[in-house]
Structure 1
Amino acid sequence: MNLNPPSFSRFRHDGLELAYFDEGDPSGAPVLLIHGFASSATVNWVNPGWLKTIGEAGYRVIGIDNRGHGASDKPHDPALYHPPQMAADAAALLSHLGISEAHVMGYSMGARITAFMALAHPHRVRSVVFGGLGSGMVDGVGDWDPIADALLAPSLEDVSHERGSMFRAFAEQTKSDRRALAACIMTSRDLLSPADMARIDQPALVAVGTKDDIAGSAQALAALMPNARAIDIPGRDHMLAVGDKVFKKAVLEFYAEIDQR
């Protein structure tokens, strides 16, 4: 497994240029990784060691920079950031790479995109991992309007909202386009109904940190799906759960079980 930072390629979909990496064993079962809000494929999957972990387990590892993020195009129109559109980007990447079916794992907003992809493109999705998003997929994850305000504020010092301040600082750390992120947060939180979740019949794993105050219950979300299980990521909040070793071990065991069938 090459431990150097992955090289990114680009493809076009829906009028946008989108960036992705394609690493690991080309003959291995493909795993498509979909990152969270204000993150990128590098920040969400490379830096916390996911690319190394999954690649060394023999998988082909593909990571997309969602529209508005990373090295992908960053439109400022909120109408372009609904989850079905980003799910269509992910499915188009599989088509671009000639991949008929993949394990799909998303974190936070990426988990929501993964769910929409599983519903709209079920034959492309071999399994789903929802990280950092539990019952909030259905019930909502609170009032995020202050986050858009925080992203558009003149400076971090002007932000008093706690969660807004956290995401504004994260956006500055990742050198993100804050106007694109503000547009994204306005429309990327479309909810799924319990009936929608019940239609996701692929093997599913839901993983949420026990100190995550954003995601909602992993167990409650898993209970809505016919073929799902939940795990707790002990002692981790929304940000720190991403690279946790308990999470990684559970995902590798989940994939091994599916691939042995």
Structure 2
Amino acid sequence: MPSFTSAGFSLSYDVAGAGLPVLLIHGFASSGKVNWVDTGWVETLVGAGYQAITLDNRGHGQSDKPHDPEQYYPSQMADDAVALLDHLGIERVAVIGYSMGARIAAFMAFSHPERIASVIFGGMGMNLINGLTDGNDIIAGLRAPSLEDLKHPTARQFRIFAEHTGSDREALAACMETSRQPMPRADARRVEVPVLVAVGEADVMAGPPEPLAELLPQGEAVVIPKRDHMRATGDKVFKAAALEFLSKTYSSGSNS
């Protein structure tokens, strides 16, 4: 994978297809490949005529993995995403983020609205503002000596996922400490770009999508039927809603 430098870190990315660029920001303990390639998102977007850009966030995938929690605030990772756009010479882009990636996308849309045509928050509803209640359990689970010691269901889920992806668990624990920083309600009200909030019907981690969409000046919500946080990622209803949203909020005219 090619790489670029942001804030002293070497970060990996990939680009597929041609057409209007869509930046894909993955969730916690995942990677560009796991979150977006393996779930069919890159193929779907390229097939619809877009260029799909995947980024491995700091601490993940093939990017540098600091163990310092001070390096994982969502505003810092939002700056990484903007640095990638600068590296690629892209002025304006549509962004799709999932879970932690949606939080990063929200901070990006707040701080750099001129770089974003529209944005999709997948797997992130009202807990963008309310925060993540299971964060400390997830941290403890990542640092536990073995999976057998874990009883908390969410902690077990993320520990299994981290081991499956071959992740640096100490880097992930550091990331979880600060990347879950909530967005102030007043800041969410000032995200002016069009936003689609897409959350699984059985997703207890994200919080409901509708109240967040109502806070956002140009927000709309979609519920992904019968899906929880992990299984909503590559869902066909999610993809169809995203393509429809992009078709009405992102065009050659909106990118100029």
Cα shift at 1:259: 3.3
User: How does the TM-score come out when normalised to structure 1?
Assistant: 0.95
Residue 15 of structure 1 corresponds to which residue in structure 2? 8
The answer to whether the 8 Å contact 2:57/2:77 transfers is yes
Superposed CA offset, 1:30-68 (max 9, x none): 100000000000010000000000011111110100000
User: Higher relative CO (CA 8 A, sep ≥ 6), structure 1 or 2?
Assistant: 2
Structure 2 alignment gaps of length 5 or more:
none
Task: Measure, in 2, the Cα distance between the counterparts of 1:43 and 1:104.
Answer: 17
Secondary structure in 2 matching 1:191: coil
Paired residue secondary structure (1:200) = coil
* Residue number in structure 2 paired with 1:235: 226
- Give the whole-Å Cα distance in 2 for the aligned partners of 1:224 and 1:213: 20
Residue number among 110, 115, 120 corresponding to 2:101 in the alignment: 110
Unaligned runs of at least 5 residues, structure 1:
1-7
Matched, 1:147 2:138: yes
- Residue 43 of structure 2: aligned partner: 52
TM-score (norm: length of structure 2): 0.97
Give the AA of the match of 1:178. Answer: R
Q: Would the aligned equivalents of 1:146 and 1:161 in 2 still touch at CA under 8 Å?
A: yes
**Amino-acid identity (%):** 55
CA contact (8 A) 2:118 2:250 kept: no
Q: Deviations over 1:158-208 (max 9, x none)?
A: 112111111000000000000000000011111112211111111110000
Residue 193 (structure 1) aligns with: 184
Q: Which letter maps to 1:33?
A: L
Q: Is the 8 A contact 1:210 1:234 kept in 2?
A: yes
Asked if the contact 2:134–2:154 (Cα under 8 Å) also holds between the matched residues in 1, the reply is no
RMSD (Å) for aligned C-alpha atoms:
0.9
**SS of 1:192 mapped into structure 2:** coil
Q: Which amino acid aligns with 2:172?
A: L
| CA-to-aligned-CA distance 1:61-103 (integer Å, 9 cap, x gap) | 1010000000000000000000000000000000000000000
Given residue 13 of structure 1, which amino acid in structure 2 is its aligned partner?
S
